[in-house]
Amino acid sequence: MKLAALINSDGTGAGERQVTGFAIDHRKVAPGTVFGAFEGARVNGEDYIADAIRSGAIAIVARPGLQIEGAAYIADSNPREAFARLAATFFAPFPATSVAVTGTNGKTSCVEMTRQLWRMAGFHAASVGTLGVTTADERVTTGLTTPDVVTFLSNVAGLAREGVTHLAFEASSHGLTQYRTEGLTVAAAAFTNLSRDHLDYHGDMAAYFTAKIRLFSEILSPEGTAVVWADDPQSARVIDLARERGNRLVTVGTQGDTLRLVGRDPTLLGQGLTIEAEGRTHTVNLPLIGAYQAANALVSAGLVIATGGDVAATIANLARLQPVRGRLERAAIAKSGAPVYVDYAHTPDALEAAIAALKPHAGGKLVVVFGAGGDRDTGKRETMGRVAIAEADRVIVTDDNPRTEDAAAIRRDVLKGAVGAEEIGDRRAAIAAAIRDAGPEDIVLVAGKGHEQGQIVGDMVLPFDDVSVARECAA
């Protein structure tokens, strides 16, 4: 594709040059690249424009008012959006049906469950998010919930070339703010819930919600469907916005109109759900434990129905859902017979939900091992401690990903809320202690890192997988 066709120029001069790719990292620029130079929280991409041009960049997308020589200058007051729009034109086509999920908790489970339900319906489907790019055949890690826009669009275009027709992707608040998920026609967008998270980046809850709601105000197609978990306090605002825009609505939950959850009966390895839809009552055995897993399953079913899925068949297929990596994943059985679960819960609400999911299944004690991440919202640490000590029978506070902070200081913050909890800084030792002491009627929950394969200490990522460590300790 020539640059002129991409930017609608007259095709003279630089416009005659062939575009070979897009980059926002000057180290990835090759001859023919369009380079996006943005001001970031830590790095200003504008400082690397000259380096990008020397490496062969033929066009620079940046804010107005800069002096740029040696490449076409595409000036825009919102350069991230302009860059994403051009990149989408370059990388297209994409899967014919795309849906997005936002919310504080549940995004990963929802996109993966949606992918599974589509596959059961006979479609070639994929999901993109915290777990990476997942298809029926493989999973490739990207490292971020919402990867940068170049990685996202190139991966999605690659999926389309492989025959993927249905895509579900996570839309994080960071990704939405930084225009990382632009360019696709979003047929349905889902809202799961809103609770405290990422205030280190957004500043306050109002800004955090504004970032989330952008999925519905700007990205969701005008002809698309808003799928909303109706039981969250913030859901009414999403529903109002969808009605103002004229979007179709699919609401799910105990207060839902499309899929109304009228009964939930916990069983040993799952839960029986009673759902009202289209004037009929449906019963299904969901092979996942916990109220929040039921919520994720219903949101996923809502997305499938919103994109043409048969209501009765979709509800019936909930019985065939497989667990999502690191989401209340049963990792091991202790020698005593106590099951050990691993969950990604790293916010107060998510931790409370994970504990609530397991508590009905514990004949003895519910033991929780958790910590808090460094270089992240410090205000949630004490609250997480209060949740754990109030709801669990035994609490061990340990290290999560301390990053550049002092790990002991992070633990002290958590322990302000978790008064009476044990402190074992070494995460492996903490998991080992919980499993060693667990009785036959107890349940152990290791929370915070879920699917993650490493522990971030300083600027190093040390190999660490809660599931593997739990199995080793149990053995």
Residues contributing to the annotated binding site: 103-109, 145-146, 172, 178, 180, 376, 400-403, 448, 452
Cβ 349 vs Cβ 474: under 8 Å = no
CA dist list (Å): 409 to 276, 381, 399, 447, 473 = 49, 11, 10, 19, 27
Exposure of 412 in the CB half-sphere (CA atoms within 13 A): 5
- Euclidean distance between CA atoms 340 and 1, whole angstroms: 53
Query: What is the 3-state secondary structure of 356-400?
Result: HHHHHHCCCCEEEEECCCCCCCCHHHHHHHHHHHHHCCEEEECCC
Binding residue positions for ATP: 103-109
The Cα angle at residue 113 between residues 111 and 116, in degrees rounded to 5: 110
Segment 270-278 long-range contacts (CB within 8 Å, at least 24 positions apart): 273/297, 273/318, 275/315, 277/311, 277/312, 277/315, 278/311
Alpha carbon distance 108, 129 (integer Å): 6
The residue written with tokens 């479609």 in the block is 123
72-75: strand order across its sheet:
21-23, 33-36, 59-62, 72-75
Residues of each annotated binding site for meso-2,6-diaminopimelate: 376, 400-403, 448, 452
How far from the centroid of its chain's Cα atoms is residue 459's Cα? 23
Q: How far is CA 49 from CA 25, 33, 65, 84, 87, in A?
A: 10, 12, 14, 18, 18
Question: Does 402 sit behind a cis peptide bond, omega within 30 degrees of 0 on the bond before it?
Answer: no
Of 294, 105, 304, give the one whose Cα is nearest residue 191: 105
User: 430-445 b/e with 16+ CB inside 10 Å = b?
Assistant: bbbbbbebbeeebbbb
The residue whose two tokens read 């003279």 is 12
79 contacts 61 by C-beta, under 8 angstroms:
yes
Cβ-proximal residues to 402 (8 Å cutoff; 6+ apart), any chain = 373, 374, 410, 456, 457
3 state SS of 321:
coil
